[in-house]
Chains A and B, each alone.
Chain A
Amino acid sequence: DAGITQSPRHKVTETGTPVTLRCHQTENHRYMYWYRQDPGHGLRLIHYSYGVKDTDKGEVSDGYSVSRSKTEDFLLTLESATSSQTSVYFCAISEGLTYEQYFGPGTRLTVT
């Protein structure tokens, strides 16, 4: 299995609070991604990174920011969480955009 960990695995937070999710990889892959998974919507890309400090927006980036200061870590921040951001968040990595992606175990976030 690809070395990808996500923390925390579960989090409950209140509306309006900031939340940061962490993705850590040990594979030295160039690309890292954040997705959210919701029933009936499949996986939707939030942001992705193609190198340290190089990021780009995905399909559903509003309300989210990311940072990548080291190759191995990709952080997803919800500056002010809303109930619509209740979801399961997956991190993924790949060697290139057209290469297969390897997924982390997911983080279940509940915003009350």
Chain B
Amino acid sequence: AQSVTQPDIHITVSEGASLELRCNYSYGATPYLFWYVQSPGQGLQLLLKYFSGDTLVQGIKGFEAEFKRSQFSFNLRKPSVHWSDAAEYFCALTRSGNTPLVFGKGTRLSVIA
């Protein structure tokens, strides 16, 4: 069965520092991978997605993610964090065919001055 693991429940970074949020998946073939962000009291918004091709994908709000097949990872990065990036981040995957998305449990990001 496919699954998604986000090892970090909560991360705190200083404003202006770089950020990397980890996502590991379990699935035999290449999955379709997504990162979503949820601001407090809001629904989820898509940051970026990977289906195939270039393993480094660019998303909105200055985020990027790199698919590493050998490491079963799809980590989210941002070179310089802004206070408005404080939110919860979810990694999700599905495989080709007819299965819905499976979400990780999320990583809460706090940004300090």
| B44, B100, B101 — most chain A CB neighbours (10 Å) | B100
- Chain B residues whose CB sits within 8 angstroms of the CB of A44 once the complex forms: 103
Given A97-B94, A97-B98, A98-B96, residue A42 in contact with residue B43 (CB < 8 A): no
Please, how many angstroms separate the alpha-carbon atoms of A33 and B101 in the complex?
Answer: 10
A33 to B104 CA separation, bound complex (whole angstroms): 17
Give CA–CA (A67, B35) in the complex, Å.
29
B52 to chain A, nearest CB (A): 11
Contact B94 A98 (CB under 8 A): yes
B46 contacts across to A, CB distance below 8 A = 100-102
Residues of B within 8 A of A48 (CB): 100
Interface size on A, residues (CB 8 A): 21
Interface of B is mostly: loop
Q: A90-B43, A97-B94, A98-B94 are in contact. Are A43 and B99 (CB under 8 A)?
A: no
Q: Tell me the B residues contacting A by CB distance below 8 Å.
A: 32, 34, 36, 41-46, 49, 51, 90, 94, 96-101, 103-106
Besides A45-B100, A103-B36, A104-B43, 7 other A-B contacts (C-beta < 8 A): A42-B90, A42-B104, A45-B101, A48-B100, A90-B43, A98-B51, A98-B97
A-B contact pairs, 21 of them (CB 8 A): A4-B43, A41-B105, A42-B90, A43-B90, A43-B103, A44-B103, A45-B100, A90-B43, A92-B44, A97-B98, A97-B99, A97-B100, A101-B44, A101-B101, A103-B43, A103-B45, A104-B43, A105-B42, A106-B41, A106-B42, A106-B43
